[in-house]
Amino acid sequence: MKWNVKQQPLHSNRRQLLADALRENDLGGLSHRLLNEPVIPNSTGGPSRLLESQTKPPSAESQTKPLSPKLVELCANDFKFKYRSTLCKIRADPLNPASTVQFDDMFTNLVLLEEHGTDKQMLDYNDILDLKVNGKFPKRIMVQGEAGAGKTTFCAKIAWDWVEGKHFSHFVWVLIVPLREFKQHTIGEIAKSYLAKNNPATVSQITEYIRSNPDKVFIAFDGLDEVSGKIMKTKSCESQPTDQMQLQPSQPSVTSSEACGSSSETGGIGLGDILCSDQLASCPVLVTTRPWRAVEIRSDSDLMKLYTFIYVEGFNRENLSVYIHKYFPKNDDRANQLIQFTSENDVISENMAHYPIYVALLCLELSFIVDVAFESQDPDAAALVKDRVSSKEITLNVSRDMTAHTVAGCAFIRPHLF
| Residue 18 and residue 115 share a domain | no
Segments of the chain scoring below 50 in pLDDT: 1-11, 40-59, 61-62, 234-259, 261-262, 264-265, 381, 396, 398-399, 402-418
Residue 106 lies in a domain: yes
pLDDT at position 344 is: 85
Tell me, yes or no, whether 238 and 206 share the same domain.
yes
pLDDT at 102: 86
- What phi and psi, each to the nearest 5 degrees, are found at residue 115? -80, 130
Domain identity same for 27 and 85: no
Of the candidates 294, 249, 250, 252, the one whose C-alpha atom is nearest the C-alpha of residue 275 is: 294
Residue 63 lies in a domain: no
Q: Are residues 133 and 110 in the same domain?
A: yes
Q: Is 226 found in the same domain as 158?
A: yes
Give CA separation, 117 vs 33, 78, 304, 317, in Å.
64, 40, 12, 27
For residue 395, what are the contacts with CB-CB under 8 A and spacing of at least 6?
Answer: 345, 347, 348, 352
Q: Is residue 88 part of a domain?
A: yes
Residue 43 belongs to some domain of the structure: yes
Residue 62 maps to a domain: no
pLDDT score at 347: 84
pLDDT tens track for 249-292: 333 333 444 445 445 445 789 998 999 999 999 999 999 999 99
The rounded distance, in Å, linking the Cα atoms of 289 and 180 is 12
Residue 121 shares a structural domain with residue 261 = yes
Q: Which of 57, 77, 98 is the last residue of a domain?
A: 57
Q: At residue 309, what is the residue type? A: F
Residues 128 and 234 occupy one common structural domain: yes
Domain assignment of residue 377, given as a range: 317-416
Which of 293, 312, 331 terminates a domain? The answer is: 312
Structural domains of the chain, count:
3
- C-alpha 133/C-alpha 105 separation (Å) is 34
Last residue of a domain, one of 280, 295, 312: 312
β pairing state of 140-144 and 89-91: unpaired
Residue 360 within any structural domain of the chain: yes
Query: Is there a cis peptide before residue 69, judged by omega within 30 degrees of 0?
Result: no
Residue 64 lies in a domain: no
- Do 283 and 383 reside in the same domain of the chain? no
In this structure, the answer to whether residues 224 and 145 fall within a common structural domain is yes
Predicted local confidence at residue 27, as pLDDT: 57
Q: Which of 206, 166, 268, 270 is nearest to 74 (CA)?
A: 206
Of 40, 164, 151, 53, whose CA–CA distance to 102 is shortest?
Answer: 164
Residue 224 counted as domain residue = yes
Residues 333 and 273 in one domain: no
356 shares a domain with 308? no
- Shared-domain flag, residues 255 and 220: yes
* Whole-model pTM over 0.75: no
